[in-house]
Amino acid sequence: MKKLVITLTALAAFTGSALAADLPAKAPMYYPPAPVYNWTGFYLFGGFGYGLWEADTYTFNPVTGVCNLCVEQRQGGRGWYGTVGGGYDWQFGGAWVAGVFADGQFGSIKGTIQDQDQASVGQEKLRTTWAVGARIGYLVAPNVLSYVNGGYTGSNWSGTTLVDAHLGLPLGGHTNSFDRSGWFLGGGVENSLNIFGIAAPGWFMKTEYRVAEYNRADIAQLSDVTGLPVANTISFRPIVQTVSTSLVYRFNWGGPPISAKY
């Protein structure tokens, strides 16, 4: 009996090994490919923001050039605006990104401009701005860029209808619209976008702060009838601060990866 049990046990072990050898190999576990991060390429963006402008002003006689209100006063405004633009980035040195861009803003950042010497006041609006510049940043994570930027900018400001500062009655005067250029500095953060927890390849969100200083403008108060100066000229030097959030689409996202250590 013992010999029979030993024989059957050996036969079972041999048969099991043979069957196992005939079975197909187990399929390897599938892992999805790692995301590819490459910041080199073109992008477009659009969004909205909120802005503040403030201007140091004084007034002077348009004929003699002698100041009437010689101590500068600060006037200003605020409001919403939209923004669109595009650019090109280069990723280099591993985690560094540099690029060039151009953008425009449009809206109604409005406030008050006034000549307190002659009690006239009007509503001044910053209607549009544009900017061209460069940025440089560092990838704090493969899909998160922290950057600073700067460049050249232009702006368009509305004309105003002048009213009496005490009663709000029309004075029969106005100021004309004007353009001014200047320089800006800023910075922000841009990161890849997830929608309800699902990655959206190529789509990003960026939030940016910017401050721009424009050249001084001498704004004449003109008669509605003759178009000639009827009061002091207002000297106006504006500074504009904005914060915006934009949706960005990067055309090359998913291209060949760039090796980097973060």
Q: Which pLDDT value is given to residue 9? A: 44
Fold of 42-250: Porin (2.40.160)
What is the distance between the alpha carbons of residues 143 and 190, in angstroms, rounded to a whole number?
8
Q: Which pLDDT value is given to residue 88? A: 98
**Using an 8 Å Cβ cutoff, are 86 and 43 in contact?**
yes
What is the distance between the alpha carbons of residues 224 and 95, in angstroms, rounded to a whole number?
59
What is the distance between the alpha carbons of residues 35 and 143, in angstroms, rounded to a whole number?
10
**Using an 8 Å Cβ cutoff, are 208 and 240 in contact?**
no
Q: Where are the domains of the chain?
A: 42-250
Strand-strand pairing, 160-164 and 198-214: unpaired
Q: Which pLDDT value is given to residue 36? A: 60
In order of 67, 91, 136, 142, 248, the CA distances from 42 in angstroms are 51, 12, 15, 18, 10
Q: Shortest CA distance to 108 belongs to which of 51, 153, 163? A: 51
User: Mean pLDDT in each 10-residue stretch from start to end of the chain (262 residues)?
Assistant: 43 44 54 68 97 95 90 94 98 96 96 90 96 98 96 97 92 95 98 77 95 97 93 95 97 63 48
